[in-house]
Amino acid sequence: MGSNAKQVRQAQKQQFVRKLAERKAALTEQGVAPEKIKKDRVVKHLLSDIKRSDRAVASIEKRAKIIEQAKLQRQERAAQAAAAPKGKKGKAEAPPAKEGKKEKKEKKEKKEKKEA
């Protein structure tokens, strides 16, 4: 069950469901009680395989959705970049000055005034 293809996982699940139905039919034909059928090792194993296949399909779908969203975001960014005005790359907007440097300058100025 090492495949990551959605179709393969769904086919495996159908196979497990078919095997489970066959096993239950064989047990009921032998006259096994329904409580015993639920506790049968093969039945439990097949049920766990079905659950594992369900989780794998859900994971594959989730991954595909994330990939699709990423593609859309990339397309949007590319469209925005194409629509943006092309010009010189310069300092169109100066980044805000750091406050720490201003405070240090003010402290130095105060010290110089006191000394003078």
Whether 57 contacts 9, CB under 8 Å: yes
CA of 33: how far to CAs of 21, 27, 52, in Å? 15, 8, 27
The structural domains of the chain, with segments of one domain joined by +, span 1-83
39-57 pLDDT, tens digit per residue, is 999 999 999 999 999 999 9
Percent of the chain with pLDDT over 70: 81
Round to the nearest angstrom and report the end-to-end CA distance of the chain: 84
Q: The pTM is what? A: 0.62
